[in-house]
Structure 1
Amino acid sequence: MEGPRGLKKDELRSAAELANLVFRHDSPYKMEEEFPLLFSENNLENMRVFVDAGKVVSMVGMCINDVIIMGCMIGAVCIGSVCTHPEYRNKGLASKLLEDATNRAVQEGASLMLVSGDRGLYRRFGCVDAGIYRWYSIKRDQLEVHEKNLTLRKYGEKDVIELVKLHQLEPIRFIRTYEDFKTLLESKRLCDQISETYVVEQNGPVVAYVSLQLPRSRDLPLAILELAGSRVAILKTLRSLMDDVGTESAIVRTTTADVELDHLMVSAGAKRSTGGFMGTVKLIDIERFLESIDTYMTEVIGKRRRKNLSIKYEGKNSELSFTYMDQKFSIRGIDEITSFIFGSVEKQQKLKHANSELEDMLNSIFPMPLVDYGLNYV
């Protein structure tokens, strides 16, 4: 048996066959069509595999992307299509591949791991529920008919460049090339479901877009899982969007940093709830991650206090320590550190009763928003 190693070009079909056997055995859809950036000749080295007798028998797929969070560029790796052939299970192959994938991701500059799953394999590896997101639920009859100067329609190929530009303005996002954006839109998949993308024009120019999961029936809501541009335009055309899709309700998911959308949705009567990331999360290079967000921390607490704030990570004990003057605060365990930095619905670690200047600073910095998958789900 060969591995762990990267996938070879002539093994790409075998990798897709394994993924389809495990995840799509009773479905007409194909994994290689749903996740074109993952099952791509340009991504072979990031498909970590075990191969036996010329067949891929275990696989961990990953895409390495930079993300932007509050002005900071962070290297991220998205893990998906983790599977093992039934005849090769219970041999620890997936665990070895996950470790191998992590090592490669760190070598490629990633410090943040996003996993599209929550099973024991990932939990044992230190991945946790992290990130706090807002869900809004709203019905058609709560919304007004949109203004005449707004036009809602399905996106076309000529719109891709405008979508790229709108996406670039978002403070929390994946960095996508034009080519990748186009490929993801053409796949018509969003977080493992059939999707569609609509644009909103205002007197001609495109001012917003939404990517949504299409409901399976009229009594189910459409689900907007990626959006960019004018929140006002999105809300004012939401009723028309429901009509075009053929449903009576909608849910919208966004980060806690989207204060404008929060105000608009709540004012419109939407029900608001909170939830975690669509999978699990792990910081795989804490020192590099902290370097990446240094500008964010300095902006929040100021240059003087940042200069006097010492941050140290001790890898041997997995302990992160913050020291300010004679004050100290420590967290031990990568899972606890990840939950503290991004917040967690499972673990409420925010220092609710800050009794020192250090704890007050940490409450200002953390939790910081976590990027959401949107079209980049794997």
Structure 2
Amino acid sequence: MKIRLLNSNELQQAADLSDLVFGKPGQPSMGKSFPALFHPGVSHSYGAFTDEGELVAFMGLAPDVVRIGEARLNVFSIGSVCTHPDFRGQNLASTLLAECMDHARRSGASLVFVSGGRSLYRRAGCYDFGRVHYAMLDRSSAAALLQPDTDEWSISPMRPEDTFGISAILSGASPAYEQGPAQLLTLLGSSAIADITMMRQETLTARKDGAIAAFLAAAVPTAPESSTSGEPAKAVEWGGHPQAVARLLAEMLQRHRIQRLEVPVPWQEQALLKLLQQAGAAVQSGPNSGTVWIADAHSLLTQCSPLLKWQSFIRIDEAGGRSYTVTNKGQELVLDDSGLLSLLFDPESPHLAEAPEDFCTIPLPYLSGLHYI
């Protein structure tokens, strides 16, 4: 068995294997849903090949840059991990994961996001991270968001002419993935979340004084008041003025006769969360989507340095392996990878008491949005 990077002309094999393993009747091909992994180009993904050249296991790996204020984090995402049924039980996924992690380190990445949390990843040092509030909007809370009924926002389906306006909203957001208008259109067109949940993607915009103030992309059931997968409709990506976003969420539910709309609100979006709570939406909190692995601690702290005024309060203990000493006011606390991720990215971390008083938790985008793989 040969483990290596995929060539561009082998990506269709990878899409076919993913369809074989994950595909459901009527579901679009994974090749359409995940262009970052399967469209022709320079591939970062790894595969296991037989001596005859047949791809029998695949691990998708895609690079991105996450912008957080003045900081730029070089990250990878892992997804579409699959093995042909005839070749399971040979530890191919573990071998591919080790190759992907080495690739991430060599590339200068600080973090690797994984679209899963099974034991394969946790044994390799992947952990839960961050904090997201999952709000469930129903017809009652949507009606509350629409009151008082004013004409402040003009709501309409997205048109191609809206591309630059939506791109400008995303470019001004923080945290956010760096992307241009062309990538935005590719991701909107691929509709990954809608495809894997057997729904359809709809995008609405809100205008004020003729300018786009907000947008919302959501996965909605293909038939009114039902979902083939049994899941609620899902808000996939949004941006702009919080009140306009709240109006778009309510409009999306009512226009498509949806019973429930799940809205994953990252902890830093407090204004939107407050509007949803005031409207009566049920809210549960949990970690961000998937898990994360620290590719290189030095790179992570360096890339986060614009956000860490007192970067020196975290010391990497070279001799001790993946351990870190937090020093504040003469007190020391030793953390492992899980603890460091908690301190940096979770506003409810128990370790915040050991950080300087002016340390601010670093926000991250929700990982199961348009950039999900």
TM-score, with structure 2 as normaliser:
0.88
Counterpart of 1:375 (choices 363, 370, 373) is 370
Q: Distance in 1 between matches of 2:276 and 2:363?
A: 19
The answer to whether 1:218 aligns with 2:225 is yes
For the residue of structure 1 that corresponds to 2:215, the secondary structure is strand
In the alignment, structure 2 segments of 5+ residues that lack a partner are: none
CA contact (8 A) 2:220 2:258 kept: no
Equivalent residue for 2:331? 327
Report the Cα offset of residue 204 of structure 1. Answer: 1.6
Q: Distance in 2 between matches of 1:351 and 1:340?
A: 6
- Pairing of 1:197-208 with structure 2 (within 5 A): 197-208=203-214
| 239-248 or 198-207, which deviates more | 239-248
Q: Distance in 1 between matches of 2:340 and 2:314?
A: 16
Equivalent residue for 1:302? none
Number of equivalenced pairs: 359
For the residue of structure 1 that corresponds to 2:99, the secondary structure is helix
For the residue of structure 2 that corresponds to 1:129, the secondary structure is coil
- Pairing of 1:152-167 with structure 2 (within 5 A): 152-167=155-170
Q: Distance in 2 between matches of 1:108 and 1:308?
A: 25
In the alignment, structure 1 segments of 5+ residues that lack a partner are: 299-305
Counterpart of 1:253 (choices 253, 264, 276) is 264
Deviations 1:15-57 (A, max 9, x none): 111111111154432100111121021242x111111112111
Q: Distance in 1 between matches of 2:159 and 2:311?
A: 49
Q: Distance in 2 between matches of 1:321 and 1:288?
A: 17
The answer to whether 1:126 aligns with 2:116 is no
Deviations 1:232-256 (A, max 9, x none): 1122343322222221443321211
Equivalent residue for 1:143? 145
Deviations 1:32-85 (A, max 9, x none): 0111121021242x1111111121111110110000234421011110011111
Q: Distance in 2 between matches of 1:12 and 1:295?
A: 38
Equivalent residue for 1:301? none
CA contact (8 A) 1:138 1:249 kept: yes
Deviations 1:300-337 (A, max 9, x none): xxxxxx276352342652111123463222113x2343
- Pairing of 1:350-361 with structure 2 (within 5 A): 350-351=350-351, 354=353, 359-361=354-356
The answer to whether 1:271 aligns with 2:282 is yes
For the residue of structure 1 that corresponds to 2:221, the secondary structure is coil
Give 1:64's aligned amino acid: P
Give 1:14's aligned amino acid: Q
Equivalent residue for 1:107? 106
Counterpart of 2:252 (choices 241, 260, 265) is 241
Q: Distance in 1 between matches of 2:60 and 2:311?
A: 40
Give 1:246's aligned amino acid: R
The answer to whether 1:283 aligns with 2:294 is yes
Equivalent residue for 1:339? 342
The answer to whether 1:184 aligns with 2:184 is no
Report the Cα offset of residue 287 of structure 1. Answer: 1.2
Q: Distance in 1 between matches of 2:76 and 2:289?
A: 15
CA contact (8 A) 1:308 1:325 kept: no
Deviations 1:210-241 (A, max 9, x none): 11121365167432132101111122343322
Report the Cα offset of residue 263 of structure 1. Answer: 2.4
Deviations 1:182-215 (A, max 9, x none): 1111113337333222111113211101111213
Runs of at least 4 residues off by over 4 Å:
none
Structure 2 CA distance for partners of 1:188 and 1:324, relative to 1, 3 Å: closer
Structure 2 CA distance for partners of 1:377 and 1:315, relative to 1, 3 Å: farther
